[in-house]
Structure 1
Amino acid sequence: SREREAQAGRLPGCRGAAAGMEPNVRFWIAEPQSFVRRFLQWTELLDPLNLFISVENIEKARQLLFTNEDASGHALEYQTIREAWKRSLSTVHPDSGRPIPALFRPAAFLPFTMPTVFLSMMPAKGMMSVVLPQVSLYAYTTAFNIINGNESYSRQTPESIVLGAGVIASSTFFGLIPYLIQMKYSLDNPWIKRVLPVALLTHVSAMNVFASRGFEPIRGIEVMDKEGNVIGHSRRAGRKAVQETAISRAVLFGTSALIPEVFASFFKRTQFFLKNPRSLWTAKLSCTVLMMGLMVPVSFSMFPQIGRIQCSNLEEEIRSSTEETELFYNRGV
């Protein structure tokens, strides 16, 4: 029954998919377009234990999904298939079908970015204390964006390296602007000391996505029908995919940086802080961990992993090559 299939990881939509269709694409196309459902799914996929899944276990899970397109059998079989879906969705790129390097799997995003976001929002105590968090943050997010972006367009490794290096350098420079202003002019205005770094982090995080995935709107990404058949490459779909990811990243970092700053401003007025001034560091760190722990699955869930776009909004050559009214594309993470 469909109810029993839903209990096995919400897989009923996988029925009737085209033979040989990438399992991850098959899953996300079938997944209901609900923010709550996507959020619950991402809370499972962001499990830190997914970082330690071996290539051998990934291959076994993928083989199970390729040979069991219909969920049927006993409860044990349902649990096995559900675990296979979790391993595949959390470790395999839906475009290439290859395992994602462990350090850049979605589950690694929070552990690697949270410390750098926290340190980048701390008061500057010297040039190195400002530069290192910014370089670390944008080096990781740039590599993460490139690796987890759309891979259905043609690209060469050297150009990806050159692009990544340029994006890291420019993102770091813009991220340092508020701190350089403070260090040069010794400004004590709270708007410059607190609000400007948050605003720059939000803006630069979004622009980092646009820059690191800049080839997608230029060269176009694959669009497919509901059976997984590729119809063509669309620059408009590539632009939509990058825009959606940039918005989600701006919401993630903007909220994760703003709320701890607001919390800290109120915490400083409490009697506990007056008696224990060093407790601000711990309180702000705890707030950052809490907010980012919540906002990472929220941001990843804001838009579907496999996006939908009306065929009428695509290029003429794509509209003329299909009778479908709605096509699909991989948004990336």
Structure 2
Amino acid sequence: MEPNVRFWITERQSFIQRFLQWTELLDPTNLVISIEKIEKSRQLLLTNEDASRGDLEDKRIQEAWKRSLSTVHPDNSKLIPSPFRPAALLPFTAPMVFLSMLPVKKLKSMILPQVSFYTYSTIFNLVNGNASYDRRPHESVLLGAGVIASSTFFGLLPRLLQVKFSLSTVLSRNVIPVLVLAQLSGMNVVASRSLEPMRGIEVMDKEGNVIGYSRKAGAKAIKDTATSRVVLFGSSAFIPEVFSYFFKRTQFFLQCPWSLWTLKLSCTILVMGLMVPVSFSVFPQIGRIQCSELEKEIQSATEETELFYNRGV
């Protein structure tokens, strides 16, 4: 069995345990681990099938799990490119979220942040989504291009209306952009991973044996991940806006107007720093689904009452 799958199936963690686990996996040093070190860690885990993350006395096994879980895709056992590993989400998207929420005077100033944000989000979702179904390279390219274009268009739409009609209310300047960003972040997951509920993803028993391919499991995986993205980016955009709204009414802001952007950027990074591990921890990495909820052909192929699938990040 793939070590990462084995870990997530056997380690039935609570939300708090998953949160603490992700704080380790999101360590920025995981972006620069050498391939040689990752291969050695994987070899250690493959030759020690009984190795548990709870083996506190064996530091080598602890470090091996950390390297494997943070750098290797559980479906195909391939190395995840450094810019799209889970640990890269915060440093790449926090500045983009901050720039996307800045007040606009000209629409041109918003095009690059929006394009950058949705391009990165789409590729991140494609790379870290379920990879157990057949997918040709050109399908991913065409699907990704369409998702980027549509997400960027709908992301710019409220800003376009704001500039065209000179809207300056709190609703148009602050509330609507936050709602649009949160909803589009969830829809980006649904669209970029839309092949999963169409073709079905692998479902397996507790031993890692593949029972079949389920479209219903694919739909559930996307729904859970999309929900976590709405929570992540919705909170990361909303909380700094609230702080900024009240900060602009203080005497300090009147004396130092430039401090608003420093506060807003700092707040965005701090909120995202907390919300990234929270969003990854809301649902287990390897999801569980009752066999009775799956297709009839899968139910007839096994006597298990509960099956597992990779939710994706």
Q: Name the TM tier (shorter chain).
A: over 0.9
Distance (whole Å) between structure 1 residues aligned to residue 218 and residue 296 of structure 2:
16
Check conservation: 1:150, 1:216, Cα contact below 8 A.
yes
What is the aligned partner in structure 2 of residue 295 from structure 1?
Answer: 275
Question: Conserved in 2, the CA contact under 8 Å of 1:217 and 1:238?
Answer: yes
Please name the residue that 2:254 is paired with: 274
Q: CA deviation at 1:76?
A: 9.0
Residue 305 of structure 1: aligned partner: 285
TM-score of the superposed pair, with normalisation by structure 1: 0.92
How many residue pairs get aligned? The number is 311
SS in 2 for 1:309: strand
In structure 1, the partner of 2:49 is 69
Structure 1 residue 330: Cα displacement? 0.1
| Deviation of 1:70 (Å) | 2.5
List structure 1 segments (4+ residues) > 6 angstroms apart after TM superposition. none
Whole-Å Cα distance in 2 between the matches of residues 235 and 174 of structure 1? Answer: 28
TM-superposed deviation, 1:68:
1.2
Contact 1:62 1:88 in 2 (8 A): yes
User: What are the Cα deviations for residues 5-54 of structure 1, in whole angstroms up to 9, with x where unaligned?
Assistant: xxxxxxxxxxxxxxxx1000000011223100000000000000000011
Does residue 59 (structure 1) correspond to residue 19 (structure 2)? The answer is: no
Q: Distance in 1 between matches of 2:25 and 2:220?
A: 24
Identity of aligned residues (%): 71
Structure-2 separation of matches of 1:210 and 1:54: 33
Q: Does 1:236 align with 2:216?
A: yes
The alpha-carbon deviation at position 128 of structure 1 amounts to 2.6
Superposed CA deviations along residues 161-205 of structure 1, whole A, max 9, x for unmatched, are 000000000000000011000110001111011100000001100
Question: Residue in 2 aligned with 1:159?
Answer: 139
Helix, strand or coil: the match of 1:135?
Answer: helix
Report the equivalent of 2:18. Answer: 38
Q: Could you tell me how far 1:125 is from its partner in structure 2?
A: 3.3
Cα distance in structure 2, aligned partners of 1:274 and 1:116: 27
2:195 is the counterpart of 1:215: yes
Alignment of 1:121-160 (within 5 A): 121-160=101-140
Residues 1:106 and 2:86 are matched in the alignment: yes
Tell me the alpha carbon deviations over residues 85-104 of structure 1, each in whole angstroms, 9 at most, x when there is no partner. 00000000000001100110
1:328 maps to: 308
Alpha-carbon separation, structure 2, partners of 1:161 and 1:71? 38
* Aligned partners of 1:71 and 1:78 also within 8 Å: no
Q: Assess if the C-alpha contact under 8 Å between 1:199 and 1:254 holds in 2.
A: yes
1:255 to 235, 255, 265: 235
**C-alpha distance after superposition, 1:248-271 (max 9, x if no partner):** 000000000000000000101111
Q: CA deviation at 1:55?
A: 1.3
Are 1:83 and 2:60 counterparts? no
Letter in structure 1 aligned against 2:270: L
Between the aligned partners of 2:51 and 2:226, the Cα distance in structure 1 is 36
**Structure 1 stretches lacking a partner, 5+ long:** 1-20
Are 1:207 and 1:246, in contact at CA under 8 Å, matched by a contact in 2?
yes
The CA distance in 2 between the partners of 1:33 and 1:50, in whole Å, is: 22
Correspondence for 1:184:
164
- Aligned partner of residue 230 in structure 2, secondary structure: helix
Q: Is the 8 A contact 2:56 2:62 kept in 1?
A: no
What is the root-mean-square deviation in Å for CA atoms of aligned residues? 1.2
